[in-house]
A and B are shown apart, each in its own frame.
Chain A
Amino acid sequence: MTDSVNRGLNDPAAPTRRRVGSQVEGPGALQAAPKRKRFSLLTRRDKIVLGLMVGIPTSIHLFFIWLPTVASAVLSFTSWNGIGLDKIKFIGLKNYADLFGGVYPPFWPAIQHNVIWLAVFMFIATPLGMFLAVLLDKEIRGTRVYQSAIYLPVVLSLAIVGFIWQLIYSPDEGFINSILGTAGTPQAIDWIGNRNLNLWAILVAASWRHVGYIMVLYLAGLKSVDPGLREAASIDGAGERQTFFQVVFPVLRPINIVVIVITVIESLRAFDLVYITNRGLNGLEILSVLVTNNIIGEASRVGFGSALAVILLVVSVGPIIVYLTRSIKAETE
């Protein structure tokens, strides 16, 4: 990081010319450049314009995203019904104690369901998406058609995914029960209504979309692998599987990390599909829905809802940090 200087600085013929602070390194100009003043060579107007260009979007982002995030953390130690700032009462860790102590019955099931969601994504959907990407990365006929078919669900909203799978799961008119001949009979399997089944049914629908997403990301990663590496491996007599696991997979470390981070974040974000299915009740409790129910439900318990949000936040901080460190590494390389 050298101080940025402009060649025009030593050019007496250009006193009125505009100057940039971009990385132009003129060795002769170095002595004239005051240290730590990267903007010093821009005109005052340029500086103001740049300040606005960064300042406006940053303020919007800070105001709508980070201010509420911090507020969530603060409010989680309070009890507040949301009306009148003077009604906010600090109650320490009571909200958390209530949550973990089982005062709020849906909490532990929600944690359990989120963990199951993550596990299914991590150990089934994501590996399947990666596997399909590896298969489709080869030069085979029709690979684009296969790719399109598997990635089609990715463009659909999760609300629509919920509707489409309702056509498959419904006890009276659904595909599965029609095939089994149980549609409309008392023997019909109620995939959505049965609290022991519905999470798994929903996870099939969610995975249907997630697999395609991962496949697309992973295919892009695979395309970026230097083909020479593969050739070298095959010249050395490595089989296809060996080449993948010992040569390609290690090279793909950055994209592997992205895929894992996205998998975790997506499982924490799970909301739409569950909410449109049954508003997260009766076997489908998950954290994100509990947070929402505490604001748009009858009783507005801001402190309590915030405590739930903070748990979500704490869990997501891990993968976010991993992602950021990777980006910084890529940045500084």
Chain B
Amino acid sequence: MTTPAATTTGTTPLAVTGRRKRRPGRWLLHAFLITTSLIWLSPILWALYTALRPYGDTAKYGYVSIGGSYGLQNFITAWNRVEIPKFFLNTMIVVVPAVILTLLLASMVAFAVSRYSWRFNLLLLMLFTAGNLLPQQVVITPLYRMYLALPLPRLVSDNGVFYDQYVGIIAIHVAFQLGFCTFVLSNYMKTLPKELNEAAVVDGAGVFRTFWEVILPLCRPPLAALATLQFTWIYNDFFWALVLMFTGDKRPITSALNGLKGQFFTDNNLVAAGSIIVALPTLIVFFVLQKQFIRGLTLGSTKG
């Protein structure tokens, strides 16, 4: 263990012991991590590279090649051909209300079960959590029938039912995501001092005001993390809108991809450009809101 440092060259990592093992070990570790990182990034970098080259050039030189021109033409073509703005708008019509409603409803339940001692609160939390863990396909068959049959006022549904309507898609997102958000938020609210409720009462605040003006503002950190996470998840949803939204033109962008596949994305360069455009909002989350996203992911799995 205490062998003094000797030559730094020519020694095999296995032969040395103790402190001297560190250096080659570190190098090996970095080499491994750099390789892994590059492998992990390569599919995305490859997509980016392909997207930047005109189809003519890749046809001439092959896809694995350097040369020809580089530019944003594929992005422009994909954007116009697919009417990307329309699908982005569809997504927003679903994502924005869904995230807001999910967080609002989840924080109300979380408030009630975490701040008041209540007979069924554990049962309720279990129900919500279990519901969130179910594979979506477990509920889809009856849900599909329910969506076709259940009436909705014309004001929110132009065909009078849940099926093929934004309201329907929003509803299932909210119902499904409630579980996770309630779980996370109630864990967080439990950590807030109990005296807050008393102080609110002394000030004459009712239950709702205690929730809205005292507890909720203190929950900004988990709400921000959950909003980021929920935005990404609902944006990325493929399944619900695929099954419950019949009209292809009304589908949010991720679900619309299935129909756009062979129809508009005729070569790999366009597929690549289209993929990057669609991934862009989530990539922004990755680059700008990474911390929030990771906090949201890990809040549910580790306590606190």
Contacts and interface: CB of A to CB of B under 8 A. Distances in A.
Contacts of B142: 67-68, 71-72, 75, 302, 306
Nearest to A321: B130
B111 to A, nearest CB: 7
Interface string A145-172: 1101111111111111001111110100
A53 B286 contact: no
B63 A175 contact: yes
Nearest to B299: A220
B221 interface: no
Interface residues of A, number: 120
A80 B297 CA distance: 40
A179 B197 CA distance: 66
A320 interface: yes
Interface string A46-85: 1001100110111011111111110110010000001000
**Binding site secondary structure of chain A:** helix
B264 interface: no
Contact of A309 (B30, B40, B141, B285): B141
Contacts of A271: 136-137, 238-239
A155 B286 contact: yes
B211 A82 contact: no
A97 interface: no
B126 A313 contact: no
Contacts of A57: 105-106, 108-109, 178, 182
**Binding site secondary structure of chain B:** helix
Contacts of A103: none
A148 B255 CA distance: 27
Interface residues on chain B, size class:
35 or more
A23 B146 CA distance: 42
A276 B261 contact: yes
B165 interface: no
Given A46-B207, A49-B208, A167-B268, A152 B141 contact: no
Given A68-B146, A258-B301, A167 B134 contact: no
Nearest to A64: B175
Contacts, number: 330
Contact of B179 (A6, A18, A61, A309): A61
A170 B50 CA distance: 13
Interface in B66-108: 105-106, 108
Interface in B112-133: 112-113, 115-119, 122, 124-131, 133
Interface in A156-211: 156-160, 163-168, 170, 173-175, 178-179, 183, 208, 211
B194 A173 contact: no
Contacts of A69: 134, 138-139
Interface in B246-262: 254-255, 257-258, 261
A17 B268 CA distance: 70
Nearest to A262: B301
B283 interface: yes
B240 to A, nearest CB: 11
Interface string B205-226: 1111001000000000000000
A292 B63 contact: no
B44 A164 contact: yes
A163 B133 contact: no
A31 interface: no
A295 interface: yes
B227 to A, nearest CB: 15
Contact of A291 (B141, B205, B283, B301): B141
A130 interface: no
Contacts of A316: 133-135, 138
Interface stretch (A115-123, A226-234, A242-250, A325-333): A325-333
Given A149-B36, A164-B43, A276-B258, 11 more contacts: A8-B201, A53-B109, A56-B105, A68-B140, A71-B142, A72-B138, A154-B297, A155-B232, A159-B236, A160-B275, A276-B238
What 5 pairs between A and B have smallest CB-CB spacing?
A: A157-B236, A64-B175, A220-B298, A71-B142, A149-B37
7 contacts: A17-B201, A19-B201, A38-B116, A53-B111, A295-B243, A296-B243, A324-B130
